[in-house]
Amino acid sequence: MRDYIIMTDSCADLSAQEVAELQLTVVPLSYTIDGETYVNYPDHSEMDPKEFYRRLNAGSRSVTSAVNVGTFVDAMRPILESGKDILYIAFSSALSTTYQSACIAAEDLHQEFPDATIRVIDSLSASRGQGLLVYYAVGEKNKGKSLEEVAQFVMDMIPHNCHWFTVMDLNHLKRGGRVSPAAAMVGTMLNIKPVLHVNDRGELEPVTKSRGMKGALTELVNRMEQTGNQPLADQRVLICHADCQDSVDFVTKLLQDRFGVKDIRADYIGPVIGSHTGQGTLGLFFIGDHK
């Protein structure tokens, strides 16, 4: 059995420490803020997330662009030259063209490396929900599973990979077309916070709304209680946040007090996804009966 590398992209929002721990190859995406383009490396070496969200709050606009095929070719070729195969777990195709670019790169490289396997999986996931799939994939690889066995495991997990989000500022969702300008204005005036999830098609979908941030955060935890695989105490739970540690602490305490969850891992939403969600966003990721 040929050895293989598990690859993902920086939209998985895994920290540099997690990337090292999991022995991953990460393809970094980029963003442009105040006219300057930055690469979103896992160690945030080009811009600290706190500085990124400070700029957003000060009125700066950040935009993202599609990752090109050449970026994937450059990342994949050295691995193939070393005689290893690749299992790449990509950002949701419903939210980005990242998956399509990786598929084209894989097809191009197959001409050059006909004996190699390059498996590209559409995670239908975002942020640390994508990261959660990567965690489990690495766990299966470490059990000695083959690339195809791990790929099938990941495919089977995708319909059960639950993403629940809330946002502080509805205006970012308005700019992305997720809520209407009128809804954003009324919601802001009334302190209404949307509760959203990533659906079976990998799209971000509003589900309900709550009055105030704590109400919305509590609703995320309620959703885990309703659909999470039992026993909840044994779940590995990932949290992403856009520079809102108070919200992380609130949700962490709820998970510990209500369910006894022990394995909770939180980290920043990187600037690529944060460009579309804004400061104050929090996401909760777990494995459930269904999305």
Tens digits of per-residue pLDDT, 139-149? 999 999 999 99
Q: Please tell me the distance from the alpha carbon of residue 52 to that of residue 279, in angstroms, as a whole number.
A: 9
Confidence band for 186, pLDDT divided at 50, 70 and 90: very low
- What confidence tens digit (pLDDT) does each residue in 230-265 have? 999 999 999 999 999 999 999 999 999 999 999 999
Structure confidence at residue 183 (pLDDT): 47
Q: Please tell me the distance from the alpha carbon of residue 186 to that of residue 200, in angstroms, as a whole number.
A: 29
**Candidate CATH numbers 2.40.110.10, 3.40.140.10, 3.40.50.970, 3.40.50.10170; the one for domain 4-158:** 3.40.50.10170
Contact 248, 239 (CB under 8 A): yes
pTM for the full model? 0.93
Structure confidence at residue 204 (pLDDT): 82
Amino acid making up residue 271? P
Q: Are strands 236-241 and 85-90 parallel, antiparallel or unpaired?
A: unpaired
Q: Which of 257, 269, 261 is nearest to 287 (CA)?
A: 261
Does pLDDT of 63 surpass 50?
yes
DSSP letter (8 states) at residue 8: E
Map residue 33 onto helix, strand or coil: strand
Question: For domain 160-287, which architecture applies?
Answer: 2-Layer Sandwich (3.30)
Q: Please tell me the distance from the alpha carbon of residue 119 to that of residue 188, in angstroms, as a whole number.
A: 44
Q: Please tell me the distance from the alpha carbon of residue 67 to that of residue 98, in angstroms, as a whole number.
A: 6
- What confidence tens digit (pLDDT) does each residue in 194-236 have? 888 999 999 888 888 888 899 999 999 999 999 999 999 999 9
Instruction: Please state the domain extents for the chain.
Output: 4-158, 160-287
Joined tokens for residue 8: 């993902």
Percent of the chain with pLDDT over 90: 81
| 52-80: average pLDDT | 94
Does pLDDT of 179 surpass 70?
no
Joined tokens for residue 168: 């502080």
